Structure 1
Amino acid sequence: MTTPVTLGRILGYLGLAVLGALVALAGALVQDGWFPGGLFLALAGCAALFYGGLKATGSRVGVAVPAAVWLVSVLLLSSSRPEGDFLFAAGASAYLYLLGGALVAVICATLPQLTSSGANTA
């Protein structure tokens, strides 16, 4: 069962990609600042975005697009610059955020999709 590619669907995926970058930036700022509450808040934001993308689009692509942009954004934010500046401190919180966010993306992508009658479509 494939869905047709429409302009609205493309714009929706583009919006999810932008949200993926914003969630990555917000999580990077929060996850170490209020440890451990900030880490849970950042991971909850990831889970909300990935699961919301799944429900909004009705396909696993709705998880894959923001998750891929989130992962690339987090990796870019964690690399150091020539000036020596970086956003992530080398610590357990940054690694937990990276691994936890990836795990949340995998969990949301592999959730079985149920129809309105409750039947499994996967």
Structure 2
Amino acid sequence: MTTSKGAGNEGAGADKGQRTRASGGSGAAGGGTPAAPPTGPAAGAPLSPGRVGTYVLLLVTGVLVALAGTLVQAAWFPGGLLLALAGTGGLFYGGAKATGTASGVLVPGAAWLVTVFLLLSDVRPEGDFLFGPGLGSYAFLLGGLVIAVICATAHQLRTTAVPHGRVGG
């Protein structure tokens, strides 16, 4: 029994080693490189004690970053605001990298948001409150929300592992 060189290969140019449109330019009839699977735990993976501890640590850190950012952004206006926003960005990005899931952004983001809004609504009878009526307070609130959304969206785009290449070709 004899077999030809291209037996088992599909495609018009598979016998001669020619490139086909489906080959992706790799010279092989089977196609280009497969997309890398997403890194990190699967969406339905059970929670391990280490992951739960990481999420609790991120929750506590989210509260602390919100408290520190609230105080720092008002103390030194331009530099303090940038420092507070950099701290929130570092927390959200670090949470995504540490856990490998979108929950790494959502857990500290929710803790940060609840803490900031509780601090915002807490007005003492003497009239004292932590957020002053200035542009810096609003920039801190909106900037933190925008940073959380950017980090969560960027993490979602990284985990889809869309292969790069021509569209429709």
- State the TM-score, normalizing by the size of structure 1: 0.90
Q: 1:77 aligns with which of 119, 137, 146?
A: 119
SS at 2:77's partner residue? Answer: coil
1:92 aligns with 2:108: no
Aligned length: 118
**Structure 1 or 2: more helix by fraction:** 1
CA distance in 1, matches of 2:137, 2:95: 24
CA RMSD of aligned residues (A): 1.6
Larger radius of gyration: 2
- Fraction of identical pairs, as percent: 59
Runs of 4+ in 1 over 4 A off after TM superposition: none
1:16 aligns to what? Answer: 58
What is the letter of the counterpart of residue 79 of structure 2? G
Q: 1:66 aligns with which of 89, 108, 111?
A: 108
CA distance in 2, matches of 1:76, 1:83: 17
CA distance in 1, matches of 2:162, 2:82: 30
1:53 aligns with 2:100: no
CA distance in 2, matches of 1:39, 1:69: 19
Bigger relative contact order, structure 1 or 2 (CA pairs below 8 A, ≥6 apart) = 1
CA distance in 2, matches of 1:22, 1:66: 10
C-alpha distance 120-114 of structure 1, shift in aligned 2 (>3 A): farther
Where do 5+ consecutive residues of structure 1 fail to align?
none
2:23 aligns to what? Answer: none
